[in-house]
Structure 1
Amino acid sequence: MTNTILTTKINPETRIKPLKNHWLANLSLEFSDTPVGTQLTRTQRKGPLSVQKAFYPEGKDCAHIYLLHPPAGIVSGDELRISVMVKKNAHLLFTTPGAGRFYRARQDLSIGDSKQTQITQFDLAAQATCENFPQETIVYEGADGFNSVDIHLTSSTVYLGWDITCLGLPDSAQPFSQGKYSQLNRLFCDNKLIYHDRIALSPENQLLNSPAGLAGNTVFATFLAYAPAQLTDIAMRKKLVEQLREQISQAEASDKISITEINGLLVIRYLGQHAQQCKRLFIRLWQLLRPQLINKTAIQPRIWHT
């Protein structure tokens, strides 16, 4: 990683010149703390991205939002850009009603590029709280996908978020072997980069089966937790990590989950074969983290049970 990293925030109003057989979509959301709680106060959209109204299963102070993408998957030429602003004192829980999908890319490049792209950005103002829990992303055999998430926050905000990636459909005898998939996750605090994680899978680099890569596993996932104001000293963070590891030990999943604390950022990784197992484990850890970092019991979005 170089010492200087240039970042560009998403501007949903930027006009992107359409390319041949490209479907471009932008969605920009803004959430504000109001006298009646956290409200969706601004929406801009273009193309097949939208949200339902906010839901409040735990009261007015936390808005649950479901991201909707009616095509239900990303094909060659698609470029989805999602920008979410959580303003001062607002609290957002952001999820999706179902799995995201990167379908098989087109083979005939004479009709357009093969690339499939999703770019997501979260901006958190002072004292804002954001929980970003999308359902799993399925990457089909032959895909050519790029997925990135940038999180911009301050030292007084709280962020909890995960991503779960499933390669191919091995239970249906459709393994992921010839596709390409790149993922980039970055987290900035007060404009300083504190986390940068990138994986690029392709038939050429053999990361799918390499012991230094995925070692033949088809599901990989990361759960990030950052709350500088709540985790003020090293001893407090160490104790929390011990509690998380105890939960994993009780679930007999120590061979699937690793937990690391990096300068106040908790990085929890899963490597295995089952998305639902990963999600159950992540929810279990969220149920421990949420009361300590947000002072609220973990209330699962209703859509997860349908």
Structure 2
Amino acid sequence: MLIRERTADDAVLAAGQANIAEKAEPPAGVAGKAQLKRAWYAKLALEFSFSAYGTKLSSVKRHGPLSVQRAFYPEGADCAHLYLLHPPAGIVSGDSLNIFASVNEKAHALLTTPGANRFYRARCDTRLGDSKQRQQITLKLAKQAVLENFPLETLIYNGADAVSNLDIHLSRQSSYLGWDIVCLGLPASDQPFNRGGFSQISRIYLEQVLSYHDRIHINPDNGLLTHPAGLGGNSVFGNFIIAAAALFDHGTQRQVLIDEIREYLEQQQAQQHISISDIKGILVARYLGNSAEQCRSLFISIWQLARPLCLNRKISEPRIWFT
């Protein structure tokens, strides 16, 4: 399976993330009208609150081409389903997308997307500006808050120069279930990923202490694409993270869930594609293969096993997944 870097000491999380709702400004070093016209600087800040009427999307602040639809309630008023919208449907050189979601005490939100995210081929002429394509997602959960984060897959086009970061801030009484699925190139269209780069960092802070750090940097020169200790020639990889209050301090419950997941994977003869680890009380299921559809199907099945134990709820798949 995929080997990644983890460290217990990380000095990231820039101060600017604390006020992501402010008006977006171009990154330092970018100047000139031609450059500004070729890039989107988008920010979206969401806040969910709980009241006697259930979970509400209590605040939306946005700048640029990021938006949301109204919240849906297929499970009742306690859990708000929300679809994140990015009308350009892709990220090009110079683009910087920042998404911040704050889930207040006792609120429960489920986030997803109506389609795949895309990092397109980076521009070759760097005189027109930065070739990097950036996405930063910051999620903050208060006590007894629940967030489920299930975006559809991210497509990394050949020649992209992409950076994607995810920071999750939890209390010991909050619960997070979420996945990410990354597809390198378009092998079915005979467009393998053999140029460019993709970097991804995922971090979890528990009570403001870094508890999980996962980093991968892929480019054709470092051998990670083909090395047996890397992707081993596979084009799709994904993580499903389960950091639930009910499981943090109870190793027995975590082991029950791990055993159920492993039994299911054996029944599906999928154990060669997915491994599951208990990292300081955080469960991480990793997929490695060549099918985004297979990855998402397996992750949905893991969700079906985990949600009743972690949240005392059966899964309710977002309606947008069926359109």
User: Structure 1-normalised TM-score?
Assistant: 0.97
In the alignment, is the contact (CA less than 8 A) between 1:10 and 1:121 conserved in 2? no
The corresponding residue for 1:69 is 86
Q: Percent identity?
A: 52
Q: Paired residue for 2:201?
A: 184
How much does 1:236 deviate?
Answer: 2.2
Could you tell me which runs of 5 or more consecutive residues in structure 2 were left unpaired when the two chains were aligned.
1-6
Distance 1:56 1:154, change over 3 A: same
In structure 2, the partner of 1:197 is 214
Partners of 1:6 and 1:52 lie apart in 2 by: 32
Q: Take 1:77 and 1:220, find their aligned partners in 2: how far apart are those partners?
A: 25
Matched residue SS, 2:225: coil
Please name the residue that 1:83 is paired with: 100
**Cα distance in 2, alignment partners of residues 228 and 32 from structure 1:** 19
The reply on whether 1:250 has 2:258 as its aligned counterpart is no
Segment of structure 1 superposing worse, 206-215 or 12-21 = 12-21
SS at match of 2:121: coil
User: 1:93 and 2:101 equivalent?
Assistant: no
Change (3 A) 1:121 1:205: same
* 2:273 partner amino acid: K
Quote the Cα distance in structure 2 between the aligned partners of 1:284 and 1:4: 33
Give the corresponding residue for 2:19: 11
Query: Which has the bigger relative contact order, CA under 8 A and spacing at least 6?
Result: 2
Counterpart pick for 2:164 among 135, 147, 157? 147
Amino acid across the alignment from 2:260: Q
Classify the secondary structure of the residue corresponding to 2:147. strand
CA distance in 2, matches of 1:156, 1:111: 47
Are 1:219 and 1:275, in contact at CA under 8 Å, matched by a contact in 2? yes
Distance apart, 1:60 and its partner CA: 0.5
One-letter amino acid of the counterpart of residue 5, structure 1:
A
1:25 to 42, 45, 52: 42
Mapping for residues 115-194 of structure 1, pairs under 5 Å: 115-194=132-211
The superposition leaves residues 143-169 of structure 1 with CA deviations (integer Å, 9 ceiling, x where unpaired) of 000001100010000100000000000
Name the SS of the counterpart of 1:239 in structure 2. helix
Q: Secondary structure at the match of 2:304?
A: helix
- Distance in 2, matches of 1:55 and 1:87, equals 18
* AA matched with 1:11: N
Q: Is the 8 A contact 1:257 1:271 kept in 2?
A: yes
Alignment of 1:21-60 (within 5 A): 21-60=38-77
Q: Which amino acid aligns with 1:213?
A: G
Instruction: Give 1:4 deviation, angstroms.
Output: 4.9
- The question of whether the paired residues in 1 share the 8 Å contact of 2:246 and 2:310 is answered with no
Following TM superposition, where does structure 1 have runs of at least 4 consecutive aligned residues deviating by more than 6 angstroms?
Answer: none
**AA matched with 2:49:** S
- AA of the residue aligned to 1:189: L
Kindly indicate whether the alpha-carbon contact (under 8 Å) linking 1:10 and 1:83 is maintained by their aligned counterparts in 2: no
Counterpart residue identity of residue 140, structure 2: D
SS at match of 1:174: coil
Report the 3-state secondary structure (helix = DSSP H, G, I; strand = E; otherwise coil) of the residue aligned with 1:229.
helix
Aligned mates of 1:301, 1:38 — CA distance in 2: 16
Cα deviations by residue, 1:178-222 (Å, 9 ceiling, x for unpaired):
121000100111001111001001122011001111000000000
For 1:283 and 1:6, how far apart are their aligned partners in 2? Answer: 31
Secondary structure of the equivalent of 2:164? strand
Shift of 1:230: 4.1
* Contact 2:257–2:305, Cα closer than 8 Å, also in 1: no
1:3 Cα deviation from its structure 2 partner? 3.2
| TM-score normalised by L of structure 2 | 0.92
Alpha-carbon RMSD: 1.2
Does structure 1 conserve the Cα–Cα contact (< 8 Å) formed by 2:49 and 2:58?
yes
CA contact (8 A) 2:248 2:282 kept: no
- Which letter maps to 1:7? L
> Contact 1:39–1:63 (CA<8 Å) still a contact in 2?
yes
Cα distance between partner residues in 2 of 1:15 and 1:114 = 19
In 2, the alpha carbon distance for the partners of 1:2 and 1:288 equals 29
Classify the secondary structure of the residue corresponding to 2:19.
coil
1:282 matched to 2:299? The reply is yes
Structure 1 gaps of 5+ residues are: none
Query: Paired residue for 1:206?
Result: 223
- Specify the code of the residue in structure 1 equivalent to 2:101: V
Distance 1:79 1:263 in 2: 32
